[in-house]
Amino acid sequence: MLGTEVVEAYRRDGSVVIAGMLPADVLAEVASDVPGSGTLHSPHQTSPAINRVCRRADLVGAAMDLLGEQVYIHESRIDVGEHLESRWREDGIPAPNLVTAVVFLDDGSVLLSHPGTVPSTAGRQTLVVVYNAVSNPPANKRPMPVVMSTVGSRRAAYARRLATASLDRGDPTGWFEELYAAAQRGETKVPWADLTANQYLVSWVAGRSGTGQRALVVGCGLGDDAEFLAGLGFDVVAFDVSQTAVDGARSRFPTSTVDYRVADILDPPGEWRASYDLVFEAYTVQVHQSAARGQAVKGIAAMLAPGGTLLVLAHSRPFDGEAGPPWPLTREEVGSFAVDGLEPVGITEITDDNPPGRRWLAEFRRQP
Ligand SMILES: C[S@@+](CC[C@H](N)C(=O)[O-])C[C@H]1O[C@@H](n2cnc3c(N)ncnc32)[C@H](O)[C@@H]1O
């Protein structure tokens, strides 16, 4: 998301340059669909590559930040050197509640603009996308929506914008701290934090006692699952990569017996190995990709004591039609927890409405 300084600069100067926002391979893909000269109107309706760029969470998110509202694509065009006037009035839009995003495709040099003026794109190859605020639709055009209208999806879009920026920086976990910190400042809500114990954990544990048992909660967020287990008598360690999440859990449950820690499952404390009778992992592996995903699976499996049980929840299909995170786990990936003496007790794909989606519910046991 855009920082306050960027938004203020935009409102003061009428334009703002954000260097390096889009990765080079994305720009190259778009540039390959650009005509030699002149203007191509509405390329997002004909070119899949351009359509994807116009809908990117970071670009749409920037427009949302600048307009303070949800937006749709009002028009797009590929220009080779034109000025950025908008035809909002002739398109029937009652007020110029628009953001014009100009993506430079020819080189990465900094745009020279003068405060209060519309930047010139003269001589440059550009993709121009005009986003209009949802509350201000034209009477005579059918705009193309780019963001979903539910509050939940807006939160997810916010989180994905942070994730995209973090991953582009080569930092696969930094966005969790940013997200929890932004939520603490009241700027968003953490999409998965429903502030109640996981219903699958509650059903699985029903009737069991935790007395004399050690439990580990992976990616514990704000602590509800950890507290639930502690309430059953488990001796609980719960960890998260985000300091703000861990602080949040501690301050929500000031008299808790849970030992909350900041730790990374990609590099866990050695003393946790083979130490827990119950390990609960819900939706943490699925925020990792490639090698880190396998590393997280091995790290979690390694924590289980002989005779211990590992309970895993993960999405099995994309749940809101958007690109990840999260990235659902395949059957094979869920099965890969069965390493190092762990055996599957059951791996089931279930469908649920609350929260919606298809997911894996899997149980593993380490031989005594
Ligand atoms: C999708 S959330 C799920 C949170 C919680 N388990 C739940 O079911 O609501 C993933 C959580 O894992 C944490 N996390 C992500 N990567 C992590 C890592 N490498 N090590 C520890 N925690 C991590 C995040 O900060 C976040 O709280």
Binding site membership of 265 for ligand 1 (Cβ less than 6 Å): yes
What's the CA gap between 269 and 303, in Å, rounded? 10
Asked if residue 329 belongs to a domain, the reply is yes
Rg from Cα positions in the chain: 24
pLDDT given for residue 139 in this prediction? 65
Backbone angles phi, psi at 310, to 5 degrees: -115, 130
Instruction: Check whether residue 312 and residue 242 sit in a common domain.
Output: yes
Asked if residue 211 belongs to a domain, the reply is yes
Instruction: Check whether residue 346 and residue 257 sit in a common domain.
Output: yes
DSSP code for 92: T
Binding site membership of 242 for ligand 1 (Cβ less than 6 Å): yes
When divided into structural domains, the chain yields a total of 2
Question: Ligand 1: distance of its center to the CA of 309 in Å?
Answer: 20
Give the residue numbers spanning the domain of 339.
199-366
What's the CA gap between 111 and 120, in Å, rounded? 8
Binding site membership of 219 for ligand 1 (Cβ less than 6 Å): yes
What's the CA gap between 67 and 289, in Å, rounded? 33
- Residue whose CB lies within 8 A of the most ligand 1 atoms, among 180, 228, 241, for a mutation test: 241
Instruction: Check whether residue 123 and residue 212 sit in a common domain.
Output: no
Residue 41 maps to which CATH number?
A: 2.60.120.620
Residue 206 maps to which CATH number?
A: 3.40.50.150
Asked if residue 189 belongs to a domain, the reply is no
Instruction: Check whether residue 225 and residue 361 sit in a common domain.
Output: yes
Using the 3D structure, point to which of 114, 147, 180 is the last residue of a domain. 147
Asked if residue 15 belongs to a domain, the reply is yes
Instruction: Check whether residue 127 and residue 264 sit in a common domain.
Output: no
Comparing CA positions, the residue from 253, 282, 255, 249 lying closest to residue 180 is 249
Region of residue 14 (left: phi > 0; alpha: psi -120 to 50; beta: else): left
Instruction: Check whether residue 67 and residue 136 sit in a common domain.
Output: yes
Instruction: Check whether residue 222 and residue 137 sit in a common domain.
Output: no
Question: In 10 A of CB 296, how many CB atoms?
Answer: 22
> CA torsion 219→223→228→232, rounded to 10°?
80
pLDDT given for residue 320 in this prediction? 59
Question: Ligand 1: distance of its center to the CA of 21 in Å?
Answer: 26
What's the CA gap between 336 and 358, in Å, rounded? 19
Instruction: Check whether residue 67 and residue 135 sit in a common domain.
Output: yes
Binding site membership of 241 for ligand 1 (Cβ less than 6 Å): yes
Asked if residue 33 belongs to a domain, the reply is yes
pLDDT given for residue 181 in this prediction? 95
Asked if residue 70 belongs to a domain, the reply is yes
Asked if residue 184 belongs to a domain, the reply is no
Ligand 1, residue 242: give the atom nearest the CA. 25
What does the pLDDT profile of the chain (368 residues) look like in tens digits?
Answer: 677 788 788 877 777 777 777 887 888 888 777 766 667 788 888 888 888 888 887 788 788 778 777 778 888 887 765 545 566 666 777 676 777 777 776 654 434 444 444 455 555 567 777 877 766 776 666 667 665 333 445 677 788 889 988 988 999 999 999 999 999 988 888 988 989 999 999 999 988 889 999 999 999 999 999 999 999 999 999 999 999 999 999 999 999 999 999 999 999 999 999 999 999 999 999 999 989 999 999 999 999 999 999 999 999 886 655 677 889 999 999 999 999 899 999 999 987 755 556 889 999 999 99
Binding site membership of 264 for ligand 1 (Cβ less than 6 Å): yes
Ligand 1, residue 193: give the atom nearest the CA. 9
Q: Which two tokens stand for residue 134?
A: 């949802």
Using the 3D structure, point to which of 127, 147, 167 is the last residue of a domain. 147
Question: Ligand 1: distance of its center to the CA of 97 in Å?
Answer: 38
pTM here is: 0.65
